[in-house]
Structure 1
């Protein structure tokens, strides 16, 4: 097994991968675990794969990509597509991946939130596929942190997104122009239900001036508004951006399914997911049945 180069585990109804499952597979270059029943990324197990180049986890009921799930790996290609329960990609989910050039995250219809620091330390990234997801916006911090190739204090808090005021947006645009001289990232974004409010301004700038944007957006005419209803189907590049306010109220995204009942023992932990878009940056408070905040 120590000389194994490709491991095919697809279509096996695997629900979890032991932390030590890949120990000793020092020569493994390809890992295929598509079409299983994984609900989380086997992050610890992946750390044993010192020569891994390709990781494919498509068509699993993975609910989110958490902090550190893909970190310190030599992979050049990672694919997590068609995961029907995936709702968010958390900060530092993909970090310190010096060889990664292709990232496929498309066809995840419930993926509504990507933290501004989700992708950090990806100096060779050339392509990110995000079409057919549930994204409401693409924020400047996401691209800035990829190109910055380092850990920065972005505008993202643990609970919300800052799309930026008019002044902040101008600063962001200037920074994008600076980074564009280094490289650009091919991005496929069509088929997302973008909300055309204050959060859309960075994406608008990229679409109308791709020469000065670090995202090279494929099929820009297919990147359209889903909300508000009056703008449904409008190409974002054709918006009257001056008519859109610099500030907008909070909008919840990537929220746990309210119809799911969670059973836990006293003392057990459970993580409830809730993120919000808005300018100024929203703050989220949880209210217990007792009324305690």
Structure 2
């Protein structure tokens, strides 16, 4: 009997490490289910649920997700255990939802989280310790909520936080200990709040702060020493502080800023004293302030300044030496000002560093005064400036190439006084009188009046019932006799001047010159006044006499004689009294 041989079955042997890898892949595959309304790109381990009309957080978020985007949904509440399994999560975005509160422990157990975005929700309070459990967090954004107060230890446990955004909240108070747990914080946003003043006590707990943005504070003055104990602060932005009109001389003391801005405020002048010590400043922005005048050498100490913005102000002209000392200036923004001209020596000298001069939406007078500027070869950048005057060039765009403009089109003409009216005027005292003086010229001449009451050529707008109105007309309200005399109108521009005299004669207000109708009316008025004074007096006296008569009649018979005895000095012992009497007649 022949015995058959059996073929041995092959055996499979897996090394332990390969087995572990297979199990890991299997677990990863089982745990990587993407929530139905979301997208889960595997290349960066992201779970993207942005704008998915979600009202709650999905429950099956992959555990290996590093980025979770739940922004722009309708989530009102998040259970405290929603993210506890996401140990690898590095960025969590819950912005633009309807969260009104944060559950305690919601963010605990997220050791790898670095970015947390909660901005533009409806949060009203951040309880102390609410952010515990995120030791690696470096960026926190709670802008655009309804927070009114930041309590002590609000940010407890965030020792590595470097960037904090708390602006766009109706904050009324920040506790002095609110930032105590943030020793590494470098950037802080507090713009668009309702704070009453700079939170000095809270800011002193941030020794490494390098960038600070403030806004919405109600005070009109930035007080001295507003930013103490901030030695590393380099960028300070004070924006949208509508009432801020004064920076006290030492308000920036202790700071070494490289960038400083005060925009959308109420500054009317350049804060020279406050800026004087900021010698390392490279960027200065004073846009959107009602600044109407630039002082000569107002920026002379800022010799490292490279960018200066003065747009959207009320500047009508730039005087000589306005930017003296700014040898490193590269960009100057004067756009959106009612600017008519710049003095030839207004810009820094030498002009080698200045590259861009923004003059869009200004009111430039296109005359010979601009030729020096066009020959410098500056770039106007953005929108080119447009001529506002003279009438022949109004609306013309000023190109960068000046060859065809100067001196053929951009010319100057001396002033000529026109339409003055009568040179000799005769008016009555008490009349209302207006004298105008119009002139033509390029650039537009300025008008000055020399008054007989003030023979010196001075800019006096009001004197002795004479007013010089903004349109340079003389207004007498009313005319008086002392106003008689010769008035000189002087029109002046950079090319020359023109003048003319106006002689005023005032007829006094007296009887000889009063019309008969006026005299009759005044006579009637005098009679009425006299009668009104005499008649009450006569009536009063008559009533008094009648009263006395009636009173005397009511007293009965009246004695008309009285006998009075007396004792003579020499007859003290005599008894004869008949002769010691005298009789008086009573009325």
| Category of TM-score, reference length = shorter chain | 0.5 to 0.7
Change (3 A) 1:236 1:65: farther
- Name the counterpart of 1:286: none
- Name the counterpart of 1:205: 225
Change (3 A) 1:216 1:58: same
- Name the counterpart of 1:276: none
Does residue 18 (structure 1) correspond to residue 69 (structure 2)? The answer is no
TM-score with structure 1 length normalisation? 0.58
Q: 2:77, 2:94 → 1: CA distance?
A: 11
**Residue segments in structure 2 that go unaligned for 5+ positions in a row:** 1-61, 252-587
TM-score with structure 2 length normalisation? 0.30
Cα shift readout 1:16-55 (whole Å, capped 9, x = no counterpart) = 1111111110000010101111112344110121110000
- Name the counterpart of 1:185: 210
- Name the counterpart of 1:36: 97
Cα shift readout 1:196-215 (whole Å, capped 9, x = no counterpart) = 68xx65xx3146x89x6565
Aligned-residue RMSD, C-alpha: 2.8
| SS at 1:187 equivalent | strand
Q: 1:111, 1:134 → 2: CA distance?
A: 5
- Name the counterpart of 1:266: none
- Name the counterpart of 1:122: 182
**Residue segments in structure 1 that go unaligned for 5+ positions in a row:** 148-182, 227-231, 241-293
- Name the counterpart of 2:171: 111
Give the ranges of 4+ consecutive aligned residues of structure 1 lying more than 6 Å apart after TM superposition: none
Q: Please tell me whether the aligned partners of residues 59 and 82 of structure 1 are also in contact (alpha carbons under 8 angstroms).
A: yes
Alignment length, in residue pairs?
Answer: 190
Q: 1:65, 1:236 → 2: CA distance?
A: 33
Q: 2:75, 2:63 → 1: CA distance?
A: 22
The structure showing larger relative contact order (alpha-carbon pairs under 8 Å, at least 6 residues apart) is 1
Does residue 98 (structure 1) correspond to residue 159 (structure 2)? The answer is yes
Change (3 A) 1:223 1:14: closer
Does residue 218 (structure 1) correspond to residue 209 (structure 2)? The answer is no
Which one has a larger percent helix, Structure 1 or Structure 2? 1
- Name the counterpart of 1:235: 246
Q: Please tell me whether the aligned partners of residues 223 and 235 of structure 1 are also in contact (alpha carbons under 8 angstroms).
A: no
Change (3 A) 1:184 1:31: closer
Shift of 1:96: 2.8
Does residue 145 (structure 1) correspond to residue 211 (structure 2)? The answer is no
Q: Could you say which structure has the larger radius of gyration? A: 2
Change (3 A) 1:72 1:122: farther
Does residue 133 (structure 1) correspond to residue 157 (structure 2)? The answer is no
